[in-house]
Structure 1
Amino acid sequence: MSPKPAAFSASGGGSRPAAAKSRWLPRAPSPAAAARVFAIPYAGCGAGLYRNWPRGRGAVEFLPVELPGRETRLGEPMPGSFQELGAALVEGIAPYLDVPFALFGHCWSALAAYEAAVQLALAGLPAPSRLFVSSQVAPQDGPVGRMLGMAQEEMAEELATTIRALGGQPHPELLAIYAEVLRADVDVSKRYIVPDPPRLSCPITAIGWSQDTEVPADRMAGWTACGSTVFEVFQGHHHRFLDAPPELIGMLGADVGV
């Protein structure tokens, strides 16, 4: 992980009081941040998915989100739908929407991020400056994905591949636990049938990857039905975002509205 930027030092000079830690966020938001990007982990994974990301870019803070049922929240039940998850997430991050903010989701979590944006509007809370959706079709075009038809053993191997990509070694007992988490997340995807998705007031950036064979960039065109959408295609495969590619991090830090 990159060194902590000066903007987030204890003596950063921010006028706001220090934010209290939330079970939704592994670390407390910085009172010195000028903007925040909430990064939601994809299916079967927790906030540790973003361990290679920097804490921020300039005065923009990147905050991985911890979802129920994984890592530090392993004993908590996972909501049964993206709509319920979005509402719960909004309640969890509401105290930290005092600066411009964006939501980022990749694959499965792109839909969680979209539903969080919908729930923010329903709750009368501030809208995101931008919704970033990576490697996922629009709600009305799904559900899609090779994991929808996977057996439990295949899901465990999928998680093992992700762990190795992050530089770790999969532990058999933990793999078994998280394969159950992944199964529950995939079931949420299977139930997500949204033929007429609500249109967001905030702009959307749909991010594709040039070597992504799971969700090719040209399958993301449907996001225009969900709001004003721009499209970006970066070099790399489906999991390239894990490495915090400079072009992605730079775009996130530049497009939050500060």
Structure 2
Amino acid sequence: MTLQANAATPWLQRPPSAIATRRVFCVPHAGCGANIFDGWPERQGLVEFLPVELPGRLTRYGDPMPDTFQELAGAVIEGLRPHLDVPYALFGHCWSGLAVYETAVQLQRAGLPMPQRLFVSGQVAPQDGPVGRMLDMDDAELAHELSLTIRAAGNHPHPELVAIYAKVLRTDVEVCRRYVVPEPTRLNCPVTAIGWADDTEVPPERMAGWAQCADTTFEVFPGRHERFLDAPPELLRTLSAGTSS
């Protein structure tokens, strides 16, 4: 695959900034769209944060979600590769931590520009999964979980929208269930594994396996599993610094 000229893509909420010289592509976690990053700034200095819109949600509701992380990663690369023309990083939280890892794996295999750094938040390494309480939830429990996430983002969960996105969440959970990686591909880009001190879902110590996937730096920030939604200053500083390393 070769890079193409910069072009519009449905994978991004907005076109890349003409001012920013570095990019962080931010992938939403399971059941959610790019609007979970609405509380984040568009830029910090010359680093811009670009939410990625996945198929099957928000403006792409009519687009089918791939059945596997491998298929999703290939589609993400096709959508974003015109915008890999400046130093960039990938950020994923929980479910999307695995999505960005698989994207980096396929970028490496294809010989395309690699991220300066991969940021994974609140997720175990791929060879240590699949794990997560959602794997054992029925549809009603997933809908309740989604409502809690919407409230955590400062919004009011509308019952009809919750019902729609519970189906999206179910699809995403099944994608995670299928992702079995006995032996991880070691990346030639570094990883920063970000744990949250009060995370009861994925305690920071459960993230140690990322060291098998790449040269890995471990960070632990204050807060619970979903604190990344608030764009904590320490998280933004880490992401911004990582695009220049």
TM-score (norm 1): 0.92
How far 1:128 sits from its partner (Å)? 0.4
2:207 matches 1:220: yes
Where in structure 2 are the equivalents of 1:174-213 lying within 5 Å? 174-213=161-200
Indicate the residue corresponding to 1:78 in structure 2.
Answer: 65
After TM superposition, which residue ranges in structure 1, 4 or more long, deviate above 2 angstroms?
18-21
Aligned residue among 30, 34, 47 for 1:60 = 47
Contact 1:41/1:64 (<8 A) preserved: yes
Name the residue aligned to 1:41. 28
Tell me the residue number matched to 1:3: none
In the alignment, the residues of structure 2 paired with residue 244 and residue 120 of structure 1 have an alpha-carbon distance, to the nearest angstrom, of 27
- In the other structure, the counterpart of 2:109 is 122
The letter for the 2-side match of 1:24 is W
Task: Tell me the alpha carbon deviations over residues 214-254 of structure 1, each in whole angstroms, 9 at most, x when there is no partner.
Answer: 00000000001111001000000000000000000111111
- CA–CA distance in structure 2, aligned partners of residues 237 and 103 of structure 1: 21
Counterpart residue number, 2:138 = 151
CA RMSD of aligned residues (A): 1.1
| Structure 1 residues 175-205: Cα deviation after superposition (integer angstroms, max 9, x where no partner) | 1110000000000111110001110000000
CA shift for structure 1 position 168: 1.1
Measure the CA separation in 1 of the matches of 2:13 and 2:110.
24
2:220 is matched with 233
Provide the secondary structure at the position in 1 that maps to 2:223: coil
Q: Which amino acid aligns with 1:244?
A: A
Structure 2 counterpart of 1:111: 98
1:51, 1:154 → 2: CA distance?
A: 26
Deviation, structure 1 residue 123? 1.9
More relative contact order, 1 or 2 (CA 8 Å, 6+ apart) = 2
